[in-house]
Structure 1
Amino acid sequence: MRVFYGWIVVAGAFLVLFVAYGAQYSFGVFFDALLREFGWSRASLSGAFSVYAVAYCVVGFPAGRLTDLWGPRVVIAAGGLFLGVALAGMSLVAELWQPYVLYGLVAALGMGTAYVPCNTTVVKWFVARRGLAVGLASSGASVGTFALPPLAQLLVTAVGWRTAYVVFGVGIFVLVNLVAQVMRRDPESLGLSPDGARRPPVPAAGADDGVGPLTRAIRTPAFWMLGATFTATWIPVFIPLVHLIPFTRDLGHSALTGAWVVSTVGIGAVAGRLVMGAVSDRIGRKPAVGVAMALQAVGFLGFLLAGRGLPLLFGDALVFGYSYGAISTLFPAIVGDFFGRGQAGAIVGFLFALAGAMAGWGPLIAGAIYDATGSYDLTWTFSALLNVLAVILLVRSEPPRSARA
């Protein structure tokens, strides 16, 4: 029996997200090494990641539009080039402004052509099993978050952070450009139907086509409510992934232990993506997202207790990772449900640029709070409250009328 090509697309997306996000969340390893070598403040170096987070989310919009127009192969391959060059170039850093350019801008161009093109392409290949498919594809990001930070720490220890950056850059360039060749725009481009159905599915009126192009989606309350919901949950989402290693060192543990804490976030995120993606196909996308956001609030509060021992720190990293993975997986799926497959790249990209760009402020604010108070306690509390707000906004979000007809 022939395998439905949509699952090959899922596998390709998994690999691209594995290397891209694994490298992204290894930033904490290099962050610690750069702080030690140059003596920069946490806030000043966190700013480079904040610029990166804003820029790569903003790039998601044109990347989504270009994916709708050209298909994912060219866009993802270009992303591999930008990301590989940026990481290899980081090996030459000597001044604080250089990470802002190389990581904050050039690497952001690469990452912006990973998340949105991969996930929106998977959304186009599936309808009935959309949650499961997006969960499997995006779990690549979580597996990368688990596998690559410890590898980065071992490389930094063995050969230094400069050589480690070169290894990461070359590896990502080669692998992403190879995998990009298997990506295809949608099932119709190969004469197939979503989910591998023998005949095209017959959805309820408007349920798959949604409200049409981006210009019409923007005019709906649903668009802005979803944007506000994900803005609230994403403002603090990068804080643990940037600050967990120095936070762990502040608690008296080694940098390698900190890298394993970040990896534990990745393990939790794999579970969150796989479990909640499939669960959302059964209970609905909104309830699943709401549960994940509530868990993320609990996860942030749990970091306040991390000083009581490593089991609590690792356990809380699992909870945070589970919720983080679920939310990022269900985002393109719920947008696809609200607005349809046809313009998924543009709509997901625009919302990702709108809401995701706010995540850039989180690490910068956390660094400034730490520099001012010597503690992350206020940061963890503020982050939990933002996720409570996100749940409230989600409850008030409803699909456009044309999608409910």
Structure 2
Amino acid sequence: MVQPQRSLHAAPPDGGWGWMIVAGCFFVTVCTRAVTRCISIFFVEFQTYFAQEYARTAWIHSIADCATMACAPLGSLVSNHLSCQVGIILGGLLASAGLILSSFATSLEYLYLTLGALTGLGFALCFTPAIAMVGKYFNQRKALAYGIAMSGSGIGTFILAPVVQLLIEEYSWRGALLILGGFVLNLCVCGALMRPITLKEELLSTPALLKPGYASEAPKPDLKRSYTCAPLIRNCSHKSLCYCSRQEYSFFLMPDFIVLALSFLFLAYGCSPPFVYLVPYALRAGVSHQEAAFLMSILGVMGIVGNVTFGWLTDRRFLKKYRNVCYLIAVGLDGISCLILPFLWSFPLLVPFSVTFGYFDGAYVALIPVVTADVVGTAFLSSALGLVFFLHSVPYLLSPPIAGWLVDTTGSYTAAFLLSGFSMIFCSALLCVSKLVKKMKKTPKTLSATNIDPKQQIWTNGTVAYSITGEWDQKDT
């Protein structure tokens, strides 16, 4: 395989071809996240056709979400060591094959394998590399770029939800899945747009040497390390591979990243059941099928508004320092919306829920890559997003079946939605407490630093420590 031409930049271009990357990522989220959300529209059809209970049917959506997130590190690996283009095109082919094969399903177990595992694997190879590419092309307008790119999930849901319902009515669920399989092939076109780029920060953060495939547009850094992590190295020793892997995931033990990763577990558990069970809950409340699909459309369009407005606002100078605060506020308000949902039993009351939940869902989804990049840096963003989405996999796998079991056991959706709401509120509270503790620890250090004789200060950088007392003495002399 021929290595694609890569441009070397001193900093993210913040425009140019980057807007084509945003457009490609936008359509990737339409074909992945929006299609995954629309699986919930098939929920009642599958349950009726195969005559199964809630919990067993919910495994289809769970496995699809879990496979997408669990295989996210694989998407990062393919992107880092082959190319983003290869990963997305391969993922598009696998996802399309999964949807097309699902149209011939004869049992739920068959759907677990095709619509769940195979389609989810294809989405994983597409989603993570596309998100990471936007972070490489943008810095100053990163939140806005992510807001536009991630709004594909909302726009796709808004358009696809009623279209999928119409396709089911006209061609049955089998025909609808077959048409979706053809639609998802557009991921291959999106992959072709992903022009590779290498930042100077990446070369300085990871031991990489410039290869002939790089077209330099910035001064080459002075790199004196003996190991190489450049993609597609033909003769790469075992020691070099181990060193490269350790460098790629060196951020894993950072305290800030550990807390952020732990919060994602609770966030992922809380956000999934409302998307899976909103349509069945609305149908039980006496809402028509078209109105229930319209509720999903409202979720989608408000997600668009949340993506773009929060992306634009958090790029403003007065809010740029408070991205983490905006993120935890959005997550907390989404959790509160879930707590109110069990008390809404008519279409006019469910519309405000769809508006509120959709808006804040779009808000925090747009900020997840931004907050992650603020913690680990742009150089490690692809690997970090792979781990972040991997952490979503287990909650995505377990939360819909657990919610289904609660519905089967209690006969209502109240317990399922309350558990989702409290899980998201706990995620927000965990980040808030972590931020307060970090601030409290930082204050005493600042106070003590002002009381220390500057000639006696010891500065540390990793394992190297040195005193500047001598420099002060020379200046006095």
TM-score, with normalisation over the residues of structure 2?
0.76
Segments of structure 1 that go 5 or more residues without pairing to the other structure are 194-198, 201-211
Residue in 2 that maps onto 1:96 = 108
- Residue in structure 2 matching 1:109, options 121, 126, 143: 121
Deviations 1:181-202 (A, max 9, x none): 1112336567668xxxxx99xx
Any stretches of 5+ residues in structure 2 without a counterpart?
Answer: 1-13, 200-213, 221-245, 443-460, 462-477
Q: Which of residues 75, 82, 91 in structure 2 aligns to 1:70? A: 82
2:147 corresponds in structure 1 to 135
The equivalent residue for 1:37 is 49
What is the identity, as a one-letter code, of the residue corresponding to 2:328? G
Contact 1:213 1:343 in 2 (8 A): no
Q: 292, 297, 319: which one pairs with 1:258? A: 292
Conserved? CA contact 2:270–2:422, under 8 Å: no
Is 2:348 aligned against 1:311? yes
Question: In structure 2, what is the equivalent of residue 364 of structure 1?
Answer: 401
Q: CA deviation at 1:115?
A: 2.4
Within the alignment, does 1:180 sit opposite 2:191 as a pair?
yes
* Deviation sequence 1:340-399 (CA, Å, 0-9, x none): 111211111012102343222111111111111111111111111111211121124469
Match of 1:295 in 2: 333
Retained in 2: the 8 A contact 1:228–1:355? no
Q: Distance in 1 between matches of 2:95 and 2:392?
A: 22
Q: 2:280 aligns with which of 246, 258, 282?
A: 246
1:327 is matched with which residue: 337, 352, 364?
A: 364
Give the aligned partner of residue 230 of structure 1: 264
Distance 1:352 1:16 in 2: 16
Q: Which has the higher contact order (CA 8 A, sep 6+)?
A: 1
The one-letter code of the counterpart of 1:183 is M
Q: Deviations over 1:100-137 (max 9, x none)?
A: 11122101111112321111110111111110111111
**Equivalents in 1 of 2:400, 2:156: separation in Å?**
21
Larger Rg: 2
Separation in 1, partners of 2:147, 2:16: 17
Check whether the contact 2:74–2:386 (CA below 8 A) recurs between aligned residues. yes
Q: State the AA in 1 paired with 2:184.
A: I
Q: Give secondary structure in 2 for the equivalent of 1:372.
A: helix
More helix by share: 1
Inter-partner Cα distance in structure 2 for 1:192 and 1:271: 37
- CA distance in 2 between partners of 1:190 and 1:291 (Å): 43
Q: Deviations over 1:148-170 (max 9, x none)?
A: 01100000101111111111101
Query: In 1, are the aligned partners of 2:147 and 2:312 still within 8 Å (CA)?
Result: yes
Among all aligned residue pairs of Structure 1 and Structure 2, give the percentage whose two residues are the same amino acid.
Answer: 26
> Which residue number in structure 2 is paired with residue 389 of structure 1?
426
Matched, 1:60 2:98: no
Structure 2 partner of 1:206: none
Describe the superposition over 1:212-255 as per-residue Cα deviations: whole angstroms up to 9, x where unpaired.
94432112111210011111111021112111111111001122
Q: Which amino acid aligns with 2:383?
A: A
Which residue of structure 2 aligns with residue 279 of structure 1? Answer: 313
**One-letter code aligned to 1:182:** L
2:453 is matched with: none
Shift of 1:296: 0.6
SS at match of 1:183: coil
Q: What does residue 270 of structure 1 align with?
A: 304
RMSD of aligned alpha carbons? 2.2
Contact 1:149–1:262 (8 Å) recurs in 2: yes
CA contact 2:18–2:134 (8 Å) conserved in 1: yes
Match 1:21 to one of 18, 33, 39 = 33
One-letter code aligned to 1:273: N
* Letter of the 1:266 counterpart: G
